[in-house]
Structure 1
Amino acid sequence: MPILEIKEVTKNYGDFTAVEDVSMAIEPGEVYGFIGPNGAGKSTTIRMIIGAIGITKGQIFVDDMDVSKDKKYLSKISYVPGDVSLWPNLTGMEVINFLMAARGYKDTKRRDELIETFRLDPHKKSKTYSKGNRQKVALISAFCSDAELYIFDEPTSGLDPLMEHTFHEEVKRLKQEGKSVLLSSHILSEVEKLADRISIIKDGKIVESGRFSELSHITRMKYIIESNEDISPIKQLDYVHNVEEEGKQLHLLVDNESIPDFLNELKTYKITHLETEPAKLEDIFLRFYEASR
């Protein structure tokens, strides 16, 4: 049984449709990536999951509980937004302790480990914290909870690369413990590293879902080629994109489905250097958005 199931959910604000017929299901122990640019509908969908806003149409179930009817499901969720607000006159430790107490969590050893891991000074008042430190307080509090579903909405906003890595390691730990994670982000490399499956949302609609390997039909492969001959005609091929010249080398992207045609074209030249790079989630993302504008 999925820990989270979203069935054809729509959210209207008057005549404006922010989310339309969104469906997805997250299994226990799965990290699910939810990607799209700012304004695509990611945060609106999450707000409906956590009950912050109502659902216009459709249903959302957490651990088989209908979120519009049974608020007991909230005990199953731990949520971190992308822009955290804290009580300004409380210290970081006081905020963490309060949130732990609210969830009935008493493992202070785990709390202290996380504070050290995230390099937080917990004795400063929250009003003195930078955006990154406020984010750390929220993440520590979330990882201290014994939730079944962790929802992170742009969770590494404001964190430096070292702390981003720390966050990634903690998400992997959750997965090993059989917990589920919904990771909403526009940082594609982050989702690519962590997610088992992804959904791409555009203009409030899910336009692609699946495992990374299953989305090969909208990818492009990167090639770096070099020749002592004039290979400039390659730049004019319909399936070749984003061409950059670096000395004698051409750096370019080729539509995945046209790779056989591209390799046949290369046979007509005396290529002295050929290098490829595998498709990345960012290539999938950009390709799809370019194609669907």
Structure 2
Amino acid sequence: MDMDRLVATMRRLALAGGEAIMEVYGSGDLGVEAKADDSPVTRADKAADAVISAGLREAFPDVALVTEEQAATHSKVADRFLIVDPLDGTKEFVRRRGDFTVNIALVEDGAPVRGVVYAPARRRLFYTDASGASVEEEGPFGRAPGRTTPLQAAHPGGPLRVVASKSHRDAATDAYIARYDVAGIVSAGSSLKFCLVAAGEADLYPRFGPTMEWDTAAGDAVLRGAGGRMIDLGTGGTFRYGKPGYRNGSFLAHGPGVAPR
């Protein structure tokens, strides 16, 4: 695959998806509905998904596409696939807290090799470049990429800076965090948590609640491209993708120099 073209396409579509989201966000009519699992979906989820999925299918018709908002794609099985969460952090979106993202990633042989995470309300754009290294692009975001800053997950030493979910933090997460010497805990929503670790703004992100692969793949790609790692707490091994039903188990995302406990 032409990685320059892939990255350019994912960046363009993430920005377009973010624009569609913010149009709904500013309209006052979020169109909130409940899915079969009682999780919320809004007009913004659907609008962003339409833009992104159409763009990916046009650009890469031979690559399997899995997207949260299209249940028919959830039974696909492929060694290489694109995976999309057009609006990660829908609860944050509905509550108007700003911590929601657009996630697009490419998975090959169980690993997320390229990804983009765009937080339109925060105006932060993270992605892996064609070489696989992670960067944050400075806004305003135009058709051509602006100035980028390389991302390097790094632990300065001493107590750890932990980032945890705003909407899904539970007792198991708190018990795990208690194993470490912690300098502070920051609450954040969506895949932004991975990006904070990738940017060296946090050291550790544990998650024990249920997630899906479209929630994590893009952020995981950005984290890996910045020198970080995501561990499957069930097996102790590196996190893998393409699991049955695209369901995740508990995991730990961390930067280098942080020893899992």
TM-score by length of 1: 0.25
**More helix per residue:** 1
Which structure would you say has the larger RCO, counting Cα contacts within 8 Å and 6 or more residues apart?
1
Structure showing greater radius of gyration is 1
